[in-house]
Structure 1
Amino acid sequence: MARLSPLLCTLLLVTIASVLGFTVPTKINYTWPNPQYDALEKLLYEGTRLDGLSLSDSVSGCKSRDGQEGRGTGNVAAEWVRFAFHDAITHNIDDGTGGIDGSLFHELDRDENRGQGMKDTSADFLKFAGRFVSRADIVAMGAIFGMSSCGGQNILPYGGGRVDAQKAGRCGVPVVEQSVDQFTEAFRHLGLNSSQAIALTVCGHALGGVRSVDFPNIVPPSSDPHQVIYRNFDTTPQFDSRVVTEYLDGTTQNPLVVNANQTVTSDKRLFESDGGAAMRVFQNAGDRGFKIACREAYRVMINTIPAGVSLHQIDILPAKVIEPQITIENGELIFKVDLRLTQNLTQPVPLDRTITLKWCDKRGSQSDCNGRVNTAQFAARSQPTQTPVTDQLGLSFYSYAFRVAIDIQTSVGKFWFVVDNNDGNSPTTYNNGGANYDFQQDSIIFLPRMSQTKNAGKTLHKMVVGVRIPLVSTRVYMKTYEVAKSNTEQPQEKSTTLSLDGTIPPQKGYAFFSGDVSANLLGLTIDIGVDTLDQSYKEEYLNARVLGCQAGIIAPTTVSTA
């Protein structure tokens, strides 16, 4: 460890924590419900947005754009890292503006941001920017996925809460023709000195390379117009120190070091600016030291944000409550909830594990657990996906689904879970830090089984909600929140007033309201609300699914009392 100390002193960049613009995520005590935390946690550790579409699948296994693992014609991880760097580097330490704020989505027409990889990456990320997850948070997460998927160190902790810029920021991304002084000034705006600038550059070029179609001044194109020539920064597809060792032993083919066009050898000029001292420190640290240094360099990069923005740390949840809701399925009033448990990969999943859902009546003579606690066992088990980040942590997930038939006269109040692995140890109770999970919903409920898509383009939908009788409504409505559709548009919010639906008879204590909603369901989140003569009710749904009346359900479990 002693030989790492020079690296830790000069290149780990830990001291930059005091620099304006670099933010250390604040650790918070998670309490349910927290929709933004839940959405970011799911994306970071399961790799998917709320409806299951995967972000991490695009990069896992160090994929290339041509679908082949390894080098191919454009390493996805390298493109995602480059995107994050270009968003961060336009930070201005002098006035606290810029950094990773998503302004890059408004700047892709600039020559400093050219390249098909930038366009591909923006398309990758846009599908995941919505109500609870900003584009800027996805850009930072993409850098984490990129490094982790190709063998680099996890850049944890990750902080969420970045705020998207609504317009382009300043220019300032370094270009290969610039002098060392110009490079140094660009990195100074980011808050880095010359040694730290070398560190971030070499760490950024541990992956990827240059395509002739994007930069013909760096990689001359082939005489065959259909052939794209791709020159890599080093000879391995993984995140390792080969970019350093090949530079120092003279075998490098990095086109920014070895090139007939000397005006584009920016890496060479930068690496030689201190006589090669920084590169030798990297070499002496070995591959492990290099990865540790780059983890810290990337941490500074993704946490460089505009002044006034704060980040909250997104830790993996040992137990996570997923989408509790009341709805009607197959003529039954159903309470649905899933519990996701985090599992250490080195430990076997207990085969005889029992998980008990417990809840109090919401109303009636035995409300608030006054004389009765309802219980039910899970109806099905599944295994959610995981990301390169979760893999490096040595963790996976198991999810347990509960589907319980209830009566509107008693409904569901507070609930909690008891997990017994039947291994001789005491059961574990998950109860939201002692407060239990306080379930407020049932005055107005969403009915995805009764809702239906009305056109071939799947953009017009009849949405149905139930309002509990005897509430007298003055207004019933649905708000929809779509994912972003283009680089310059923000996620769209719409409000639709719903009317009493005479085609659906009241049942299970509810009257039904419906309306035609124009929206793309992919990634859609909704609110439903009802205003009465003396009170308003609103329910927040993380994910809207229109399933139609044909879909089947998991059979309700038997309810017992204790």
Structure 2
Amino acid sequence: MRFFLFLPFLLLRAQTSLAIVPFYPWLSSLWHYEDLLYLSPYFNTAKTNRTVNGSVIAAEWVRVAYHDMANANVGAGTGGIDMSIAFELDRPENPGQGLKDALNDFRTIYSPNVNMADSIAMGVVFALASSGGPLIPFRGGRIQVNSAGPLGVPQPQESLESHIEAFRRQGFSTTEMIQLVACGHSLGGVRNPDFVNMVPEDGVHKFFDSSQATFDNNVITEYLDSTTQNPLAVTQNATFRSDLRIFNSDGNKTMQAYVLPLFLYLRSDFSSLANPDAFASTCATVMEKMINTVPSGVKLTEPVEPAQFTVARMFLTAQAANQTQISVTTRWLNPSSNNKVTIFWSDKLHPSNCSREICSATAKTMSDQPVEPVSFAPSMLAIINPHRFHKFVFSISSTVVPDKFWFEVEDSAVKSGLFIGDNGGQGFTRADNLDVFLDTVRTTEATTDSSLKFVVAVRKSNRPSKISIEYVDISADAAPDFNPNIGTKDFSLDSSIAPTFEYEFWTAPVPVLFSTYTLSVVRDGKSIILDENQILADRVNIL
């Protein structure tokens, strides 16, 4: 049984009241956090469950987060999850290719709204959820530094007193130290050549427990029944048995609390609940504390919960028959079995021509699982499919200038009648009213194994003076600080693409390996952002 913390309460209440479900403005920073947590084209289960050179990726993501946080001084209000680890990889306390691999993973999801520090924290959420562990609440808003912090990661050869002091500095009690080490060592292990004193055999891995890719309490049960092969507990060189010293620092009371039957636990004075569920719950608490360790002046957001209704994706293409095809995918939380979603739009130039019957389309239900994109976020799977996806594909006249879209949801779970999804009363709007937009079909058709040409449709009657794209280029080798490389290209008219009645087509070359992009136009001396931090539907599995 998994512990999902705030989610059971949220989902229970969502059946009777929509008021408690958060609203995140479309394309805001909170929208991006929510979108990544519950759709996640980059942090999907296939990524976190993969193994590279014998190393479990989920374990590497947890490890890089702790090593980033470990030089925090909570009393002084400094350090924490802040990306300083990128400048500390040459230190003896940070050995191993795994830290670099994890940072490269997070580099691919960078956007102005989700920096590398937030990505590291989000990686822990996904690592645990994808390996069978608890779903940790995520808060955004971390700062990202551009320099190394002080030394601070405890090393296996250090004394117990040194470890206790290091964890105290980080804000953890001795009991929490035991818990955090046990939770972190539920995944992965130690490998040569990172720790030759513990793993002298060339290329060999020694794992912390017998289920190194599954989050469970085997690291504890095997320790207690003396079957453990945890190198930090049984390595021949006793100096490096840091797990043994830490686990036994309170006479094994904390460790035993995780395996006691409930009736014995109730008669004990242990502070933890019992059994594997207790382990998951306790780990969720200490891991959340770890990723929320930030400098004293940083204020994190409230936990990012799944939204009741959101527009997940919108794609456009100009058709030859003077039509613009619009594809929209929405997500609806905790649906009944017979819900129906309808999209409406208004015509800025001819509002009287846009009746409810004319300017509307009904969606088809895609399924309770994500279909577009086809990746699965571990957190989406962990909350047992509480969303239903609806997809709209319809065409409007190219002469129509839709200044906003909105949605009506008919669902028996909504006790007060229709639910109106209108982006907090603002409508879902596109800043340029379809005068310029990425032509999704033409862009994806231009994709090859070695090149990518972005194609935008430009209304001939209202040409801008400039169109540009800013993209996250992940094709180049990582920079020394593992920050992504941001590229910019200007578009120009492409005479090789036949114009339609309303639109001509401009193109710009972009490297094949990119993550997100932002389109902007300049008109009358003013710059307008069109698509902020978007992705292409078939280019989501790029790690």
* Equivalent in 479, 488, 491 of residue 469 of structure 2: 479
Decide whether the 8 Å contact of 1:42 with 1:48 is kept in 2: no
Return the offset for 1:35.
4.3
* Equivalent in 182, 188, 192 of residue 202 of structure 1: 182
* Equivalent in 436, 447, 450 of residue 444 of structure 1: 436
Q: Which amino acid aligns with 1:418?
A: E
The reply to whether residue 289 of structure 1 matches residue 244 of structure 2 is no
- CA change 1:448–1:93 in 2 (3 A) is same
Residue deviations 1:281-304 (CA, integer Å, cap 9, x gap): 444422222221111000001111
* Equivalent in 136, 147, 150 of residue 128 of structure 2: 147
Residue deviations 1:76-97 (CA, integer Å, cap 9, x gap): 3222211211111111224433
> Which residue of structure 2 aligns with residue 243 of structure 1?
219
Return the offset for 1:371.
8.7
- CA change 1:330–1:200 in 2 (3 A) is same
The reply to whether residue 362 of structure 1 matches residue 348 of structure 2 is yes
Taking the aligned partners of 2:254 and 2:414, their CA distance within structure 1 comes to 55
The reply to whether residue 75 of structure 1 matches residue 33 of structure 2 is no
Residue deviations 1:422-450 (CA, integer Å, cap 9, x gap): 89985543233444323433232233445
The reply to whether residue 36 of structure 1 matches residue 29 of structure 2 is yes
* Equivalent in 77, 95, 104 of residue 114 of structure 1: 95
Taking the aligned partners of 2:394 and 2:356, their CA distance within structure 1 comes to 20
* Equivalent in 238, 252, 255 of residue 262 of structure 1: 238
Return the offset for 1:186.
1.5
Decide whether the 8 Å contact of 2:23 with 2:308 is kept in 1: no
> Which residue of structure 1 aligns with residue 307 of structure 2?
317
Decide whether the 8 Å contact of 2:344 with 2:356 is kept in 1: no
Taking the aligned partners of 1:80 and 1:465, their CA distance within structure 2 comes to 37
- CA change 1:233–1:334 in 2 (3 A) is same
> Which residue of structure 1 aligns with residue 422 of structure 2?
431
- CA change 1:427–1:504 in 2 (3 A) is same
- CA change 1:362–1:322 in 2 (3 A) is farther
> Which residue of structure 2 aligns with residue 308 of structure 1?
297
Alignment of 1:493-512 (within 5 A): 493-501=486-494, 507-512=500-505
SS of the equivalent of 2:379 reads helix
Decide whether the 8 Å contact of 1:44 with 1:389 is kept in 2: yes
> Which residue of structure 2 aligns with residue 65 of structure 1?
52
Return the offset for 1:381.
3.4
Taking the aligned partners of 1:421 and 1:323, their CA distance within structure 2 comes to 22
Taking the aligned partners of 2:381 and 2:310, their CA distance within structure 1 comes to 18
SS of the equivalent of 1:47 reads coil
Residue deviations 1:389-429 (CA, integer Å, cap 9, x gap): 22221125443332332234432122222233589985543
- CA change 1:255–1:371 in 2 (3 A) is closer
Return the offset for 1:489.
4.7
SS of the equivalent of 1:438 reads coil
> Which residue of structure 1 aligns with residue 514 of structure 2?
522
Residue deviations 1:107-163 (CA, integer Å, cap 9, x gap): 22322111233233233332222343222222112212222223222112x112323
SS of the equivalent of 1:406 reads strand
Q: Percent identity?
A: 31
Residue deviations 1:242-277 (CA, integer Å, cap 9, x gap): 322333343333221223211101112222333333
Decide whether the 8 Å contact of 2:362 with 2:392 is kept in 1: yes
- CA change 1:444–1:181 in 2 (3 A) is same
Taking the aligned partners of 1:124 and 1:291, their CA distance within structure 2 comes to 26
Taking the aligned partners of 2:308 and 2:366, their CA distance within structure 1 comes to 17
Q: Which amino acid aligns with 2:299?
A: S
Taking the aligned partners of 1:324 and 1:74, their CA distance within structure 2 comes to 37
Return the offset for 1:458.
3.4
Taking the aligned partners of 1:180 and 1:492, their CA distance within structure 2 comes to 42
User: What is the aligned-residue RMSD (CA, Å)?
Assistant: 3.4
* Equivalent in 358, 379, 388 of residue 389 of structure 1: 379
Return the offset for 1:457.
7.0
Taking the aligned partners of 1:454 and 1:230, their CA distance within structure 2 comes to 44
* Equivalent in 106, 126, 129 of residue 125 of structure 1: 106
> Which residue of structure 2 aligns with residue 275 of structure 1?
251
> Which residue of structure 1 aligns with residue 15 of structure 2?
none
> Which residue of structure 2 aligns with residue 3 of structure 1?
none
Decide whether the 8 Å contact of 2:324 with 2:398 is kept in 1: no
Decide whether the 8 Å contact of 1:48 with 1:55 is kept in 2: yes
> Which residue of structure 2 aligns with residue 538 of structure 1?
529
Taking the aligned partners of 2:365 and 2:47, their CA distance within structure 1 comes to 29
> Which residue of structure 1 aligns with residue 205 of structure 2?
230
Taking the aligned partners of 1:116 and 1:492, their CA distance within structure 2 comes to 21
> Which residue of structure 2 aligns with residue 9 of structure 1?
none
> Which residue of structure 1 aligns with residue 391 of structure 2?
401
Taking the aligned partners of 1:428 and 1:397, their CA distance within structure 2 comes to 15
- CA change 1:95–1:329 in 2 (3 A) is farther
Return the offset for 1:543.
2.8
Residue deviations 1:519-538 (CA, integer Å, cap 9, x gap): 345313122202226x5543
- CA change 1:248–1:117 in 2 (3 A) is same
Taking the aligned partners of 1:28 and 1:546, their CA distance within structure 2 comes to 27
- CA change 1:299–1:520 in 2 (3 A) is same
> Which residue of structure 2 aligns with residue 176 of structure 1?
156
Return the offset for 1:343.
5.8
Decide whether the 8 Å contact of 1:80 with 1:121 is kept in 2: yes
SS of the equivalent of 2:153 reads coil
Q: Which amino acid aligns with 1:65?
A: V
Residue deviations 1:197-253 (CA, integer Å, cap 9, x gap): 2221122122222223321201231xxx5xx43322233343223322333343333
- CA change 1:232–1:414 in 2 (3 A) is same
Taking the aligned partners of 1:546 and 1:286, their CA distance within structure 2 comes to 43
Which segment is superposed worse, 91-100 or 197-206?
91-100
Taking the aligned partners of 2:174 and 2:25, their CA distance within structure 1 comes to 45
Decide whether the 8 Å contact of 1:479 with 1:526 is kept in 2: yes
| Number of residue-to-residue matches in the alignment | 495
* Equivalent in 63, 66, 78 of residue 85 of structure 1: 66
Taking the aligned partners of 1:30 and 1:348, their CA distance within structure 2 comes to 20
- Normalising by structure 2, we get a TM-score of 0.80
Taking the aligned partners of 2:179 and 2:100, their CA distance within structure 1 comes to 26
Taking the aligned partners of 1:414 and 1:246, their CA distance within structure 2 comes to 59
Structure 1: gaps of 5 or more residues: 1-11, 13-26, 67-72, 548-562
- Normalising by structure 1, we get a TM-score of 0.77
SS of the equivalent of 1:81 reads helix
Taking the aligned partners of 1:472 and 1:257, their CA distance within structure 2 comes to 68
